[in-house]
Amino acid sequence: MTTTTIKTVQEILNQPTTWNACFQVLQNLDLEALVGDRRPEQFEWVFVGCGTSYYLAQAAAASLTLLTGRSSRALPASEILLHPELSLPAIQTVFPILISRSGHTSEVLAVAEVLQQKKIEFLALTCDGRELETTTRRVLKLPVREESTVMTGSFSSMLLAMQFVAAKLVGNQAFLKSLGELPSLVAPLLARYAQQLEKFALHPFEDVAVLGQGPLYPIASEVALKVMESSSSYAQYFHTLEFRHGPKSIIDNRALVIGLISDEGAQQEVKVIREMKELGASTIIIANHATDEAKKAADLLIELSSSLPSLSLLVAYVVWGQLFGSYVGLAKGLNPDNPTNLSRVVTF
Ligand code: F1P
């Protein structure tokens, strides 16, 4: 198999085009129909999903908090089902946003039923629609038709959609414009770095740790999940500085540390990557602007070199983890289009 025949890799590389198609839909967004009076000033927005869609929920919640100044949370659907008093103690003051590419995931549909029974208004964010889009009048359905089992363009497109909604809520035109510039930023970067990443993926790493702080923490989580799903490799994720507090004991010359470096925390975050390199780890650094320290700490450096706001760059970080997972899978002789033990939707 070559990367040109793997649908998952093609869908990853095609994300700039997918994002442009989504922006066409989002330009005509009827915010009133979507959220009505459920504004973040009166209701706590709680994003809900499973697997990749849960990490998407976390990134969406971080984006809403940073763009509106109102606290927002993310929950896995299972927590609402199994621990409702812990997860949603004040459910009447919550505006849930249920996120599901397929709209068919059993846990998400079960949460929709609970909300319907309690007469709680909620928003459904989906690509395929299926049952989920019939459970509420508030539906945002994106034109993303993804054949891959693992989520790639659906993750990035639904995250962009939630960032778009948050920016629209507060009338942040500059941020909305920045989102629209992502396709032209990322397309040439993919052309420039994809082959280097594919070559780097040939190393046989035993442990992979993906590190990120702030809104990059859910992106680190999703990158680790992509490595696990697409290559059946063991990968973990941590807040970058947390890695020193114990987990670094796994580091030796068989380990890979992937650092998602934020503009705001670059100095401190790069220091951790440098320390792990000195302990023997191989390192990948993904940064917007690479400091000299970052250049010294990285075995492979991917630099975005963008003047766009940091928060608008989340999807520009995740694409490298999506690609790396598939490349490691291919290097191990696996087929990322048919990941071990996985199905496109989890139902029970
Ligand atoms: C959620 C999910 C994915 C996972 C796999 C199985 O799907 O758990 O996160 O990667 O594809 O389904 P969905 O609810 O977003 O359709």
Kindly report, residue by residue over 294-346, the tens digit of the pLDDT.
999 999 999 999 999 999 999 999 999 999 999 999 999 999 999 999 999 99
Q: Which atom of ligand 1 lies at the shortest distance from residue 343's CA?
A: 6
**167-177 pLDDT tens trace:** 999 999 999 99
pLDDT at residue number 141:
98
Q: List the structure tokens of 23.
A: 């922006």
CB 35 within 8 A of CB 95: yes
Helix (H, G, I), strand (E, B) or coil at 303: strand
Q: Cβ–Cβ contacts within 10 Å for residue 39, how many?
A: 14
Q: What is the mean pLDDT of the chain?
A: 97
Mutating to test ligand 1, I would choose from 104, 133, 226, 346 the residue with most ligand atoms within 8 A of its C-beta, which is 346
Residue 37 has pLDDT above 70, yes or no: yes
pLDDT value of position 5: 80
pLDDT value of residue 13:
98
* Mean pLDDT, residues 259-285: 98
346 lines ligand 1 (CB under 6 A): yes
pLDDT bucket at 150, cuts 50 / 70 / 90 = very high
Does ligand 1 lie within 6 Å of residue 226's CB atom?
no
Give nearest CA residue, ligand 1 atom 10. Answer: 150
Domains of the chain in sequence order: 3-180 (3.40.50.10490), 183-331 (3.40.50.10490)
C-alpha 20: how far from chain center = 18
Average pLDDT over residues 283-302: 98
Share of the chain above pLDDT 90, in %: 98
Pocket test for ligand 1, best of 7, 98, 102 (most atoms within 8 A of CB): 102
Strand order in the sheet with 73-76: 73-76, 44-49, 94-100, 123-126, 138-141
* 157 Cβ inside 6 Å of ligand 1: no
Atom of ligand 1 nearest to the CA of 126: 15
**Can you tell me which atom of ligand 1 is nearest the CA of 344?**
11
Ligand 1 neighbourhood includes 53 CB (under 6 angstroms) = yes
pLDDT at 2 over 90: no
Is the C-beta atom of 102 inside 6 A of ligand 1? Answer: yes
Residue 11 has pLDDT above 70, yes or no: yes
Across the range 104-116, mean pLDDT stands at: 98
Q: How close is the Cα of 133 to the center of ligand 1, in Å? A: 16
What b/e sequence results for 303-338 when a residue is b if at least 16 CB atoms lie within 10 Å of its CB, and e otherwise?
Answer: bbebebbbbbbbbbbbbbbbbbbbbbbbbeebbbbe
Q: Residue 274: what are its φ and ψ, rounded to 5°? A: -60, -40
Over 80: is that where the pLDDT of 69 sits?
yes
The strand ranges marked E within 288-331 are 300-303
What confidence score (pLDDT) does residue 4 get?
74
Q: Is 100 in the pocket of ligand 1 (CB under 6 A)?
A: yes
pLDDT in tens, 196-238: 999 999 999 999 999 999 999 999 999 999 999 999 999 999 9
Q: Say how many Å lie between the CA of residue 50 and the centre of ligand 1.
A: 6
Q: Using most ligand atoms within 8 A of CB, pick from 152, 326, 344, 348 the residue to mutate for ligand 1.
A: 344
Rounded to whole angstroms, the Cα distance separating 118 from 57 reads 22
With a cut of 80, say whether residue 250 has pLDDT above it: yes
pTM: 0.97
pLDDT band for 1, please (50, 70, 90 cuts). Answer: low
CA-to-CA distance for 262 and 268, rounded, in angstroms?
10
Token reading at 316: 């520009």
In this predicted structure, the answer to whether residue 25 has a pLDDT above a threshold of 70 is: yes
240 lines ligand 1 (CB under 6 A): no
Q: What is the mean pLDDT of residues 39-52?
A: 96
